[in-house]
Structure 1
Amino acid sequence: MSSRLRLFTPDAQYPDDGTIERQTAGPDVDWTICRERAPESLPDAALAEADGIVVWHEMKINADFLARIPKCRIIARAGVGFDHIDLEATGRAGIPVCNTPDYGTSEVADHAIALMLALTRGIVSYHEHLVQDPIQGFNSALAPLVRRSRGRTFGVVGFGRIGTATALRAKAFGFRVVGYDPYVSPGTEIALGIERVQTLEALLATSDIVSLHCPLTTETRGMIGKAALQRMKSNAILINTARGAIVDVPALIAAIRDGEIAGAGIDVLPVEPPRADDAIALAYRDLKAAGVADRLLLTPHAAWSSPESAADARRLAVETVMLYLQDGKLRNLVNGDYLAATRR
């Protein structure tokens, strides 16, 4: 019998043939690397032989997918979010799911601050007006959201790794930082030097900037909808570098257009890329006509992105798989509750 391991990536997010993956796993591992979104496009034979799966964010892992990987012993998410993976189904199948939370922290925190600064210092507005007319556009009054940072309140929803990194950056700009996270132990806010509020409603009501850093769960899906947006200050700015479905995007666009909040910078969407008839796609065809020009910024799920971060995600995900397949050790397990229920 062969002692070689077989690993499978269904939705690779890199252009090479798994250079980092092959180097990390070692010479005794065979790889099948695909770049698909639809599971029906994947080769059945290679799936059936896979000892482990390294998945990115474009392939849904559900019961149908699991039926095609009978030999699989571990699934590693090359990234942080795992809402596209059915944790209950993987738990029933006895397959541990691990993510890679220790990459991209600095990049995402930097991006959240960058979106905030791009709006509150008018960077994008000034640039676009000058591109349209470098003479008439040379006017510092054309950016509507410019304000001083120092002394204002920056609200962090979720102060795990990335929320913490963002909070510390906001403090450096002179913000008063408040945080809401019902799952972080008491006293964490003291160590960070921020103020803790006990409800999301309190954070929304008091913050000039609201920055989202929570996972997508049944609790957080649609959490920032019409009611939440109406609780925010009329001069507040929403930043979302977490997960797209946390925010009701049509409600957000309406809130900006109607002056319920001042603006937003978002990096993530419920559907990526957006469909042609999605509210965000329609708005971006003519931001001025949509009533959100100079007040809405969208980036293409790029907050995590840097060459260093991409390399870390690739290497760490493979290390996680190999650690389990070779040594039986798990790190960053995310479906432990379902696994435990299966084994009881």
Structure 2
Amino acid sequence: MKILCANWQAADDAELERKHYPGIDFVLARSTNEKPAELDPDVCKAVDAVINYSPTHNVASPPTAFPKARIAVRSGVGFDNIDTAGWGARKIPACNVPDYGTTEVADHAIALMLALTRGTFSYPVAIEADGSQGWHFSKAPLIRRHKGATFGVIGLGRIGLAAARRAAAFDMKVIFYDPHLLSGVDLSTGYERVHSLAELMARSDVASVHTPLTDETRNLIGVTALAAAKPGLILVNTARGPIVDLDALEDAMRSGAVAGAGLDVLPSEPGDLDHALIKAWRQGEAWIANRLIVTPHAAFYSPASMVDLRLKSIEVVHAYLAEGRLTNCVNAEYLK
């Protein structure tokens, strides 16, 4: 069994994978953040499976370049950067790894909320910059009580549900919007379901994004959604950058319609540091001071989650090629 590890990110040479799956031939194609790894055509023709390890780039060669491949995997939860239709056209399953890093991403979403609403980001910066002049509770403008506040979840999948449970532990009221979930989820979870994004935005003190990136969700949090926002809303996005229209968010934050935002993902990555919103934040413009936090698509990360991700990626391939057991397929509509 030969697996092409496209856009390989780890510093090692797949020692972890080789230890747990000694019978597999791993071919590593390393990439950078700037562009996908170039692939040897002869390698493409010889592999039985393709795994894409990049969180931002697709595989450099199209599915037709892999005549022997029987499965393709995106090593991660999001599957916007795997050619589901292209693999599906060849009746080849494309899969993801949805069951890793759930707790890390949920923790990160709550951490971004807390950094803004409890000043754990603002206070140290003020003290470091201004000494005794910065030693005052007023240096964090978004402080609020969590008990009784409303936490809105956009997309109640594994991670959204984990974030909801954490928010509930802070005695927050949890509401969610997810048009793709079956009826009755509100009864089984105890969280209140709302049936429009506008209602969720209008009622939430904190809105946390946990949807996949699809044609339906691209720019979902845009002008219309942000116009419906409850005064003082804090927006958190640990899902995919293009779900939030950054231009619309800038306008909403400048006008005060949105009080603050915690963003782990941006529409392009590495982030466009010259975008007006990000540039204003980096330059410390007064209007955005202590109202925005940006982290580098790191919510998924912990040493333990990386071990899970790497092994689960191979497990998906091995289960299918060695046992005929298909898991986590994301292009089933093309395989019928």
**Cα deviation, residue 187, structure 1:** 1.4
**Letter paired with 1:258:** S
Aligned letter for 2:164? A
Q: Which residue of 2 aligns with 1:308?
A: 304
SS in 2 for 1:256: helix
Once the two structures are superposed, what CA deviation does each residue of 1:180-229 show, in whole Å capped at 9, x if it has no partner?
Answer: 11111111122211111111111111111000111111111001112211
Matched, 1:338 2:334: yes
Counterpart for residue 26 of structure 2:
31
Tell whether the 8 Å contact from 1:168 to 1:192 is kept in structure 2 after alignment: no
Asked whether the 8 Å contact 1:110–1:166 carries over to 2, the reply is yes
- Of residues 115, 119, 129, the one that matches 2:116 is 119
CA–CA distance in 2 between the matches of 1:281 and 1:35? 29
Deviation at 1:35, TM superposition (A): 1.8
Which moved further from structure 2: 39-48 or 83-92? Answer: 39-48
Gaps (5+ residues) in structure 1? none
Asked whether the 8 Å contact 1:274–1:280 carries over to 2, the reply is: no
Deviation at 1:127, TM superposition (A): 1.1
User: Quick check: 2:29–2:38 contact (8 Å CA) kept in 1?
Assistant: no
Q: Is the 8 A contact 1:206 1:233 kept in 2?
A: yes
Contact 1:11 1:58 in 2 (8 A): no
Q: Residue 173 of structure 1: CA displacement?
A: 0.1
State the partner residue of 1:278: 275
Paired with 1:145 and 1:222, the residues of 2 have a C-alpha distance of 25
Structure 1 contact 36–42 (Cα < 8 Å) conserved: no
Amino acid paired to 1:326: A
Q: 1:333 is paired with a residue of what secondary structure?
A: coil
Taking the TM superposition and a 5 Å limit, the aligned residue runs for 1:50-61 are 50-56=47-53, 57-61=55-59
Q: How does 1:48-197 map to 2 (within 5 A)?
A: 48-56=45-53, 57-61=55-59, 64-197=61-194
Q: CA deviation at 1:65?
A: 1.9
Distance 2:283 2:36 in 1: 35
Query: What displacement does 1:28 show?
Result: 2.1
Letter in 1 for 2:207: V
Shift of 1:254: 2.1
Matches within 5 A, 1:160-309: 160-288=157-285, 291-309=287-305
Shift of 1:128: 0.8
Change (3 A) 1:120 1:130: same
Q: Secondary structure at the match of 2:146?
A: coil
Following the alignment from structure 1 to structure 2, what is the Cα–Cα distance between the partners of residues 110 and 303?
Answer: 8
Q: Measure, in 1, the Cα distance between the counterparts of 2:243 and 2:119.
A: 26
Matched-pair identity in %: 47
Deviations 1:129-169 (A, max 9, x none): 11102211111111100000001111011111111111111
Letter paired with 2:313: A
The unaligned stretches of length 5 or more in structure 2 are none
Q: CA deviation at 1:40?
A: 6.6
SS in 1 for 2:25: strand
Conservation of the 8 A alpha-carbon contact between 2:7 and 2:37: no
Question: Is the CA contact (8 Å cut-off) linking 1:144 and 1:295 kept in structure 2?
Answer: yes
Give the stretch that moved more between structures: 104-113 or 38-47: 38-47
Match of 1:322 among 307, 313, 318: 318
Q: 1:208 and 1:18 mapped to 2: Cα distance?
A: 44
* CA–CA distance in structure 1, aligned partners of residues 131 and 5 of structure 2: 48
Q: TM-score with structure 1 length normalisation?
A: 0.93
Note the C-alpha offset of 1:235: 0.4
Partner of 1:7: 3
Name the SS for the 2:261 alignment partner: strand
In the aligned structure 1, how far is the partner of 2:123 from the partner of 2:96?
A: 40
Structure 2 CA distance, aligned partners of 1:119 and 1:40?
A: 38
Question: What residue identity is the alignment partner of 2:11?
Answer: P
Alpha carbons 1:107, 1:303 under 8 Å: kept: yes
User: In structure 1, how many angstroms separate the alpha carbons of the residues matched to 2:328 and 2:313?
Assistant: 10
- Taking a change above 3 Å as real, the CA distance of residues 46 and 276 of structure 1, as seen in their structure-2 partners, is same
